[in-house]
């Protein structure tokens, strides 16, 4: 096969690279070293400054390919898909990794369908099969009840989306060198059908719960919306954000973008706090891969304790204020 090289798809927002761009490079670096291939970070649009693009190299990329044009300022899947497919056909990468973000999970299936490539969604582990050099892609399925390992033996490129926060960016290595290649966008690849009318901000600053290292979540046990203030209090002390169970969102205590679980977002933070969350399987599916899980619940039998590294069986209305109070002193 003539397909060579590992690509990771960088993402930008408001002129800056998103953290997932660097996380993907640490995944990609391992594969590139194992397969002795070039690691390429591909950025479509984004208007990112050169110095930030250099950081992609310092954090693992051998090459950065930027496709630039004002027509790529906004993510429109049809145009992005055309641009990526054109590049794939020209360069023939062996593996393409994208973040399992809303845009990654839109672009990758669009591209995979058109080029008839295998795509595995929302992977938590990646490896290489000995002998065949096939990419082994491991992902949770059926509400996190199973881990399936998947490969695409015959189709190239092998494509996968990877959960945000499921790997850490590599440290900056100033000695790393690489190439930044800017490719003009071919006008015929522009799909004019869909129009971006407006961007509406999420209303609060920490709506992007998937990119946070610390998520402090509340469930039915929070009892009312006012009590969520205590969660915000705790989250802000640690630079974290607030999440919520489906029960809490359905009761209007938190907005849908904060919902963690099967019908909400999947998060993989360093630390996940669960207050008054019993741990229904649908909720566990959205947070079980967090590095550390800390939970407080009155019900000793609550399933959340099964997945917790630290649990307190007790009244969160006693524990949470005291924790906030003691942490306040610690910080001082």
Residues 14-73 that bind another protein (CB under 8 A): none
Give the one residue of 4, 63, 155, 251 binding another protein; rule: CB under 8 A.
155
Using CB under 8 A as the binding rule, whether residue 203 contacts another protein is answered as: yes
Residues 230-249, one symbol each (x = binds another protein by CB under 8 A, - = not), give -------xx-----------
Q: Phi, psi at residue 30, to the nearest 5°? A: -60, -45
Shortest Å, Cβ 63 to another protein = 26
Give the one residue of 130, 174, 187, 193 binding another protein; rule: CB under 8 A.
193
Using CB under 8 A as the binding rule, whether residue 152 contacts another protein is answered as: yes
Q: Which two tokens stand for residue 91?
A: 């360069």
Q: Strand 39-44 and strand 292-297: pairing?
A: unpaired
Shortest Å, Cβ 174 to another protein = 25
Using CB under 8 A as the binding rule, whether residue 111 contacts another protein is answered as: yes
Using CB under 8 A as the binding rule, whether residue 142 contacts another protein is answered as: yes
Shortest Å, Cβ 18 to another protein = 8
Give the one residue of 59, 110, 165, 227 binding another protein; rule: CB under 8 A.
110
Give the one residue of 149, 168, 236, 299 binding another protein; rule: CB under 8 A.
149
Using CB under 8 A as the binding rule, whether residue 162 contacts another protein is answered as: no
Give the one residue of 118, 178, 219, 221 binding another protein; rule: CB under 8 A.
118
Q: Which residue in 179, 174, 192 sits closest to 64, CA to CA?
A: 179
Using CB under 8 A as the binding rule, whether residue 270 contacts another protein is answered as: yes
Please name the helix (run of DSSP H) or strand (run of DSSP E) that holds residue 161, with its range, or none: strand 158-162
Q: Phi, psi at residue 263, to the nearest 5°? A: -100, 10
Q: Which two tokens stand for residue 235?
A: 């989250």
Peptide bond before 157: cis, by omega within 30 degrees of 0?
yes
Give the one residue of 214, 222, 242, 277 binding another protein; rule: CB under 8 A.
214
- In the block, residue with structure tokens 């397909």: 3
| Region 294-323 residues binding another protein, contact defined as CB under 8 A | 294, 300, 305-315, 318-319, 322-323
Shortest Å, Cβ 126 to another protein = 13
272 and 309 Cβ atoms separated by less than 8 Å: no
User: Which segment (2-10, 21-29, 53-61, 121-129) binds another protein by CB under 8 A?
Assistant: 121-129
User: Which segment (48-56, 113-121, 168-176, 180-188) binds another protein by CB under 8 A?
Assistant: 113-121
Q: Write the CB contacts of 268 (distance below 8 Å, at least 6 apart in sequence).
A: 124, 163, 164, 165, 166, 210, 289, 290, 291
Please name the helix (run of DSSP H) or strand (run of DSSP E) that holds residue 249, with its range, or none: helix 246-250
| Region 122-141 residues binding another protein, contact defined as CB under 8 A | 122, 129, 136, 140-141
Using CB under 8 A as the binding rule, whether residue 90 contacts another protein is answered as: no
User: Which segment (2-10, 42-50, 51-59, 104-112) binds another protein by CB under 8 A?
Assistant: 104-112
Using CB under 8 A as the binding rule, whether residue 207 contacts another protein is answered as: yes
Using CB under 8 A as the binding rule, whether residue 81 contacts another protein is answered as: yes
Provide the 3-class DSSP secondary structure of residue 136.
strand
Size of the site for another protein (CB under 8 A): 94
65 DSSP β-pair partners: 42, 181
Using CB under 8 A as the binding rule, whether residue 96 contacts another protein is answered as: no
Using CB under 8 A as the binding rule, whether residue 211 contacts another protein is answered as: yes
What is the CB-side half-sphere exposure of residue 254 using CA atoms within 13 A?
30
What separation in angstroms does the CA of 260 have from each of 144, 218, 268? 13, 10, 10
Q: What is the DSSP letter of 260?
A: B
**Cα 43 to chain center, whole Å?**
16
Q: Which residue in 93, 84, 86, 89 sits closest to 37, CA to CA?
A: 93
CA dist., res. 105 & res. 107, Å (int): 6
CA dist., res. 152 & res. 295, Å (int): 39
């Amino acid at each position: 096969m003539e397909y060579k090289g590992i690509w990771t798809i960088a993402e930008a927002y408001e002129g800056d690279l998103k953290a997932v761009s660097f996380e993907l490079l640490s995944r990609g670096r391992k594969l590139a070293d194992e397969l002795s291939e070039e690691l390429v970070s591909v950025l479509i649009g984004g208007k990112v400054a050169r110095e930030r693009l250099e950081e992609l190299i310092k954090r693992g990329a051998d090459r950065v390919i930027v496709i630039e044009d004002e027509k790529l300022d906004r993510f429109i899947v049809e145009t992005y898909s055309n641009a990526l497919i054109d590049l794939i056909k020209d360069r023939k990468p062996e593996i393409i990794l994208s973040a399992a973000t809303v845009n990654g999970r839109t672009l990758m299936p669009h591209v995979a369908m058109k080029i008839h490539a295998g795509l595995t969604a929302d992977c938590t582990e990646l490896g290489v099969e000995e002998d065949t050099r096939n990419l082994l892609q491991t992902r949770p399925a059926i509400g996190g009840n199973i881990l399936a390992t998947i490969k695409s033996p015959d189709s190239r490129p092998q494509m996968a989306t990877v959960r945000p926060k499921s790997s850490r960016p590599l440290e900056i290595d100033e000695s790393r060198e690489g190439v930044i290649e800017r490719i003009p966008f071919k006008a015929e690849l522009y799909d004019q059908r869909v129009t971006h009318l407006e961007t509406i901000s999420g209303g609060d600053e920490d709506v992007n719960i998937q990119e946070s290292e610390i998520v402090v979540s509340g469930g039915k046990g929070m009892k009312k919306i006012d009590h969520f203030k205590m969660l915000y209090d705790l989250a802000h002390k640690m630079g974290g954000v607030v999440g919520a169970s489906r029960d809490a969102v359905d009761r209007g205590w938190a907005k849908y973008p904060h919902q963690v679980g099967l019908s909400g977002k999947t998060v993989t933070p360093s630390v996940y706090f669960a207050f008054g969350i019993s741990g229904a399987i649908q909720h566990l599916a959205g947070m079980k891969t967090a590095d550390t899980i800390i939970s407080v619940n009155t019900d000793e039998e609550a399933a959340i304790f099964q997945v917790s590294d630290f649990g307190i069986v007790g009244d969160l209305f006693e524990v949470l204020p005291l924790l906030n109070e003691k942490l306040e002193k610690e910080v001082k």
